[in-house]
Amino acid sequence: MKFEKHKLDSTDLRILKVLQIKGRISNAELADEINLSPSACHRRIQRIEDRGFIKDYVALLDPRKVGVPTTVFVEIRLNAQADDVLDAFEKAVSKIPDVLECHLMAGSADYILKVVAEDTEDYSRIHRQQLTRLPGVAQMQSSFALRTVFKTTALPV
């Protein structure tokens, strides 16, 4: 990935840094912040988007305000490592709306999931009705986050 980064110049990188923190900044404000004309800034953003460096624009919601303040990290071990088992698991887990992230791992767990829930009772429901029914699961361990110390979506560019 660092190789791709070198295809961007320092102005492009400054644009990406600002957009990761202030996604709703106007083009005029962004241009002013990075010392470019608005038209040049717009052209650069368009080029960066066209080249796929910006994947998407989203709104980050407050989990408490939308009723899912509980975060649970779930380590999953499968009963086999065959491609069909991995594929079936990945297809099924991607359909669970409470699962925000799923990572294939190296180490003791095959996958780690990031799950959000209203509370422990709601997580119990998700666990019972969704997670235990995932194909190929041999073992599961859930860890509840007590507090988020810090969180960012900004990548180091």
Token code pair at residue 101: 């992230």
Residue 125 and residue 84 in one domain: yes
Is 58 inside a domain boundary?
A: no
| Residue 89 pLDDT grade (very low, low, confident, very high; cuts 50, 70, 90) | very high
Token code pair at residue 27: 């083009």
Q: What percent of the chain has pLDDT over 90?
A: 96
Give me the domain span that covers residue 29. Answer: 2-50
Total count of domains within the chain: 2
Q: Is the separation of the CB atoms in 98 and 117 below 8 Å?
A: yes
Chain centre distance of CA 76: 18
CATH number of the domain encompassing residue 34: 1.10.10.10
Q: Please, what's the largest Cα pairwise distance for the chain?
A: 58
Residue 83 and residue 44 in one domain: no
**Interior/surface letters 9-47, b for 16+ CB within 10 angstroms, e for the rest:** eeebebbbeebeeeeeeeeeebbeebebeeeebeebbee
* 101 DSSP assignment: E
Is 64 inside a domain boundary?
A: no
Is 150 inside a domain boundary?
A: no
Residue 37 and residue 87 in one domain: no
**pLDDT recorded at residue 3:** 52
The Cα 38–Cα 32 span in angstroms is 8
**pLDDT recorded at residue 2:** 54
Q: Does position 40 have pLDDT exceeding 90, yes or no? A: yes
Residue 24 and residue 81 in one domain: no
Q: Does position 137 have pLDDT exceeding 60, yes or no? A: yes
Q: Does position 99 have pLDDT exceeding 90, yes or no? A: yes
Scanning the structure block, which residue is given the tokens 């624009």? 57
Q: What is the secondary structure of 40-81 as a DSSP string? A: HHHHHHHHHHHTTS-----PPP-TTTTT--EEEEEEEEES--
**pLDDT recorded at residue 139:** 97
Is 39 inside a domain boundary?
A: yes
